[in-house]
Amino acid sequence: MSDVKTLHTEYISRINKTFDYIESNLEKPMTLAEIASVANFSKFHFNRIFLSMVGETPFQFILRVRIEKAATLILTNNNESISEIAFKCGFSDISVFSRNFKNYFHITASQYRTSKPHNSNLSQQQSNSQQSNEKPTLYFCPELKTIKWRTTMKLNKSVEVRELPEMTLAYIRHIGPYKGDDKLFEGIWNRLFAWAGPRGLIGGKDFRSLVIYHDDPNVTIEDKLRMSVCITVPAGTKVDGEIGKMEIEAAKYVIARFELTARDFQLAWDWVYGQWFPASGYQPDDKPCFEMYPEEPKDGKFIVDICVPVKPI
């Protein structure tokens, strides 16, 4: 039984490597042989293995992720044309993009940009923000020589924009629904720390624990949502089985700190996107967003930094 479990986690590890590779190279053309080599599988068997474990062929997965990424950028990057977004997401032919986008969402990309926000969570967040007195106001912090934001949002403790360094992360990935599932997160954290503890990888000045969200829950169906529970590790750390490793490049983020109960997380994310962004002069950048946990939870409350990559509008 243990041998079967070991083989299964080895397969998960190899599939996770293909996910990371695809996500890092989404704008480039990819061949089956290239992706199979990342997973260290023969190209003659890789397609069937991937399909059996993921529920999609590699190219169905790539196409879906490209379309969903384009949909998110169409809503958040108003200064980029649909053609520019399509090319950025790996479509070299705009007609191919247009056909696949319409097949997936049943409306054109132009219609999606103009009509979809009115029915989306983001639109509701923005509508709520206009009726709210919780809009942030910026100020200059002389001590840190940076701009920060004051807010009256009770759950929010601070907001600032700053550079985060490159990080090497060990992770366990989950595919499927996760919202509000405390037992799911607890189980994944326990497995990750059980692996990291004996290896001396927990703690230290630069140690961080994160949850990365790879997909937009407003776009991707729940069964396909990907999230990774992560800790920072030294670059040379060896991983195996269900434990994967990836790099997060240095980038500028809005870092909004909150004190939350488990039921407040969505409210905090809604506030960042619906109230902070419209008043900030920034827009989300095209990189993963994540939650970072600077402290252990106490009495059912979490101190959490919601981190979203930003660029000027």
CATH for 160-312, options being 3.40.50.1010, 3.20.80.10, 2.40.10.120, 3.20.20.70: 3.20.80.10
Task: Fill in the DSSP letter of residue 149.
Answer: E
Question: Could you tell me which of 33, 40, 44 has the C-alpha nearest to residue 17?
Answer: 40
Residue span(s) of the chain under CATH 3.20.80.10 come to 160-312
Domain span(s) for CATH 1.10.10.60 in the chain: 2-117
pLDDT tens for residues 89-134? 999 999 999 999 999 999 999 999 987 544 444 444 444 444 345 6
Per the structure block, which two tokens stand in for 256? 């909004």
- The pLDDT of 74-92, averaged and rounded, is 90
pLDDT > 90 fraction of the chain, expressed in percent and rounded: 52
Q: How far apart are CA 282 and CA 254, in angstroms?
A: 9
In terms of Cα–Cα distance, which of 264, 275, 258, 273 is closest to 308?
Answer: 273
Q: What is the pLDDT of residue 122?
A: 44
Out of 3.40.1190.20, 3.50.50.60, 3.40.50.300, 1.10.10.60, the CATH code matching 2-117 is 1.10.10.60
Q: What is the mean pLDDT of residues 210-214?
A: 94
